[in-house]
Amino acid sequence: MLRDTHIKINIDHLENNITSIRDYCKGTRVGAVLKSNAYGHGSKYMAKALYDMGITTFLVATLLEAMELKNENDDYNVIIMGHTPDKYLNQVIDKKITQTVFTYDQAKLLNDLAEQPVKVHVKIETGFNRLGMQITEDTASTIKKIADLDKIIIEGAFTHLSLENRASDLKQFNKFMDLMNEVEKMGVKIPIKHVCDSISMVLHPDFHLDMVRVGALLYGLESEEKGVLDIKPILSFHTKPSHIKTIKKGETISYGNRWIAGEDSIIATLPFGYSDGYPRNMYGKGQVQIKGKFYPIIGVICMDQCMAHVDKDVTLDDEVDIINENMTVSDIAAMAETNKNEVVSRFTPRVPRVYIKNKQIIYVENGLIK
Ligand SMILES: *Cc1c(COP(=O)(O)O)cnc(C)c1O
C-alpha cells in the first residue's frame, strides 16, 4: 500500500452477504454484477474472492470490463449485459465472452464470425425502454431464428424491471414470461431466464427464475432487505492527515477563501479529494471521524486534498475515517444528493483497495501499477 488514503474491503462481510443471498434464493444461480470496477470495490480481486466462494457467473456492462476479467481467469463465465458494437465482436468470440443481443442481425453476425459455438443472452424489452428486443407478434419467431443459427447457443434471456411498484414489475414480468412460453412452444429451450436485480430479488422472490443478477446487495449497499436478509456493508474509506497546523482568527481556507476562522483553529490537511471519488458537493456538509469523534470538512474540497477543522486530540498518526459504520455510503449519498451506487462507482483507481479477511490484509490492489 503506497498511500495512506485507501479503501478497505471486508471479505468476511462479503461471505456473509453471499451466504444470506444464497439462503434467500434457495438454489437459484447467483450472478455477480461486477460492472464499473465492481461498483468501485475492485473487480479483479472481487471476482477472485467470489469465485473462491463458488460464484462463477459475472456480469459486466462493457467489452473492456469483460476482457479484464477473462484475462484474469479464463474459467470465469462473463456476460456483457450492454451492447458491443459490431466491429468489436471478434474480441467477444476470441475471449469466449457471452454477449447480450437484442437484434437478429447482430446474432447473425456473431454466428458468421465464429468458428466455434458462441453463447448469447437475448435481452427483451418489457417497459424499461433502455435496451432490448421490442415485443411484437414476430419476436418469438425472431428468437427461434437466432436459435437456429448453427453456431449460436441461446444460453439465456432476460429483461430489466423499472421498479416503480409491484404492479408495474408484475406487468413486465408477465410480458417476459408470455414471450418465453411462446418461444418454448416453438421448441426453443432457454436454460437461464433472469429478471431480478438486487431490489427485485428481495421484493419479488417469485421472479427469481434461473438466475438473479446481484450488484448492490452483494456489496452491502441495499436497504430494501432490512429485516429480510442479513447484509453488511463491505467497504470503508480511510486516510491519515498530511499536515496539522493552527491558523489565526480571520485566516481562510481553500479556494475563494470561503471558510473564515472565527477563532484560532487547528486544521488538518487530508490527502483525498474529488478526484479520488469523494463528491465535491460535500462542501459544507462532509465530516470525517478520528478516534470516534466527528470533525467537519471545511472550505472547498480540492482535487486531491481537503481540510478538516480538528482539535488538539488529533495527531499525524491518527487514522481518519471517511466512510465507516457511522458515516456510511448511504449517508454520503444522501448528503451528496445521489444514490449509493454512484458514490461507490466513482472511487477512482488511484485509491488502493485493501482486502481484509480475519482482520488480516490478504491482498492490495494498487490500481495504477502492475
Ligand atoms: C447494474 C445492473 C444490475 C444490478 O443492479 P443492482 O441493483 O446493483 O443489483 C442488474 N441488471 C442489469 C441489467 C444491470 O444493468
At 143-152, the pLDDT tens digits run 999 999 999 9
Whole-angstrom Cα distance, residue 346 to residue 344? 5
Q: Mind listing the pLDDT tens digit for each residue in 199-241?
A: 999 999 999 999 999 999 999 997 777 778 999 999 999 999 9
Pocket test for ligand 1, best of 129, 197, 217 (most atoms within 8 A of CB): 197
Establish whether residue 301 lines the binding site of ligand 1, counting it when its CB lies within 6 angstroms of any ligand atom. no
Rg (CA), the chain: 24
Which residue of the set 88, 249, 255, 291 is catalytic? 255
Which atom of ligand 1 has the smallest separation from the CA of 198? Answer: 9
Query: Given a cut of 90, is residue 367 above it in pLDDT?
Result: no
Same domain for 207 and 88: yes
Q: What distances in angstroms separate CA 206 from CA 166, 175, 286, one per listed residue?
A: 12, 15, 41
Are residues 274 and 301 in contact, defined by beta-carbon separation less than 8 angstroms?
yes
Establish whether residue 354 lines the binding site of ligand 1, counting it when its CB lies within 6 angstroms of any ligand atom. no
Pocket test for ligand 1, best of 18, 21, 25, 33 (most atoms within 8 A of CB): 33
Same domain for 250 and 204: no
Q: Helix, strand, or coil here: 21?
A: helix
Q: Mind listing the pLDDT tens digit for each residue in 20-30?
A: 999 999 989 99
Same domain for 31 and 144: yes
**Which ranges in the chain belong to alpha helices (H)?**
11-25, 35-39, 43-52, 63-72, 89-94, 104-113, 139-148, 166-185, 198-203, 329-335, 340-345
Same domain for 172 and 263: no
Does some domain include residue 107? yes
Does some domain include residue 3? no
Q: Of 189, 219, 249, which residue is a domain's last?
A: 219
Average pLDDT on 321-350 reads 96
Residue 362 φ then ψ, to 5°: -110, -15
Are residues 32 and 59 in contact, defined by beta-carbon separation less than 8 angstroms?
yes
Does some domain include residue 72? yes
Residue 345 φ then ψ, to 5°: -75, -10
Establish whether residue 169 lines the binding site of ligand 1, counting it when its CB lies within 6 angstroms of any ligand atom. no
Look up residue 168 and give its DSSP letter.
H
For cell 408484475, the residue is 170
Establish whether residue 213 lines the binding site of ligand 1, counting it when its CB lies within 6 angstroms of any ligand atom. yes
Q: Mind listing the pLDDT tens digit for each residue in 256-273?
A: 999 999 999 999 999 999
Provide the domain count of the chain.
2
Mean pLDDT of the chain: 97
What pLDDT shows up at residue 28?
97
Q: Is 255 a catalytic residue?
A: yes
Count of Cβ atoms closer than 10 Å to residue 308 Cβ = 25
Q: Of 219, 243, 272, which residue is a domain's last?
A: 219
Q: Which residues contact 165 (CB under 8 A, 6 or more apart)?
A: none
Does some domain include residue 43? yes
Which atom of ligand 1 has the smallest separation from the CA of 341? Answer: 8
Q: Of 166, 195, 219, which residue is a domain's last?
A: 219
Classify residue 299 as left (phi > 0), alpha (psi -120 to 50) or beta.
Answer: left
CATH number of domain containing 71: 3.20.20.10
Q: For residue 37, what are the β-bridge partners? A: none
Which residue of the set 35, 44, 119, 193 is catalytic? 35
Query: Given a cut of 90, is residue 325 above it in pLDDT?
Result: yes
Same domain for 241 and 215: no
Average pLDDT on 271-293 reads 97
Does some domain include residue 312? yes
Same domain for 204 and 99: yes
Establish whether residue 216 lines the binding site of ligand 1, counting it when its CB lies within 6 angstroms of any ligand atom. yes
Does some domain include residue 230? no
Domain of 360 in residue numbering reads as 235-365
Which atom of ligand 1 has the smallest separation from the CA of 61? Answer: 15
Q: For residue 244, what are the β-bridge partners? A: 268
Are residues 98 and 122 in contact, defined by beta-carbon separation less than 8 angstroms?
no
Establish whether residue 160 lines the binding site of ligand 1, counting it when its CB lies within 6 angstroms of any ligand atom. yes
Does some domain include residue 370? no
Distance between Cα 215 and ligand 1 center (Å) = 6
CATH number of domain containing 306: 2.40.37.10
Does some domain include residue 122? yes
